[in-house]
Homo-oligomer: A and B are copies of this chain.
Amino acid sequence: MHDKLLQFQQYLHRAGLKATRQRELIARAFFATTTHVSAEGLYRRVGGRHPRIGLVTVYRTLKLLKDAGLAHERQFGDGRALFEHASSERHHDHIICTECGKITEFASVEIEALQEQVVRRLGFHIQYHKLELYGRCRDCSAAAGKGPGVHAIGVG
């Protein structure tokens, strides 16, 4: 975790940017997260400890973290971006629970291989992809899945 902070600071230095107190606090807060955070969410986390940091600075720092290769930005169709650590983990996709919103990561070599096939067949040269599965997680299935078929779940 201090590794990453150091990497970030090295990146800033390399790019001729400054290592400010705000950036450090925001980066720390980001590296301390375990799941996906929105800018707003990170803002709240930081704000709790240090009320003087503005949401704008959080956005700017998240952009820097992306530039530094330490964060990935994800769009899950709900209109706001979520950020996750880029670090060591390799490519993965996501399963999102339509009830509790929990996001689970997974990777499947087979799926990716098939994608490659399909894409090649259509003459495309693939650059990246985005696979999102939506459904009820185990907990939510157990809690709500007893009654008669519930189809309208609220997430379009």
Name A residues whose Cβ lies closer than 8 Å to a Cβ of B: 73, 75, 77, 95, 97-98, 104, 106, 108, 110-111, 114-115, 118-119, 122-138, 141, 145, 153, 156
Contacts and interface: CB of A to CB of B under 8 A. Distances in A.
A118 B106 contact: yes
B119 A110 contact: no
A110 B106 contact: no
Contact of A115 (B119, B125, B127, B133): B133
For the complex formed by this chain, how many copies does it contain in all?
2
Given A108-B118, A118-B106, A124 B135 contact: yes
19 contacts: A75-B77, A77-B77, A95-B122, A98-B127, A104-B124, A106-B122, A111-B118, A115-B133, A123-B138, A124-B133, A124-B141, A125-B141, A126-B133, A126-B135, A127-B135, A127-B153, A130-B131, A130-B132, A130-B134
Contacts of A141: 123-125
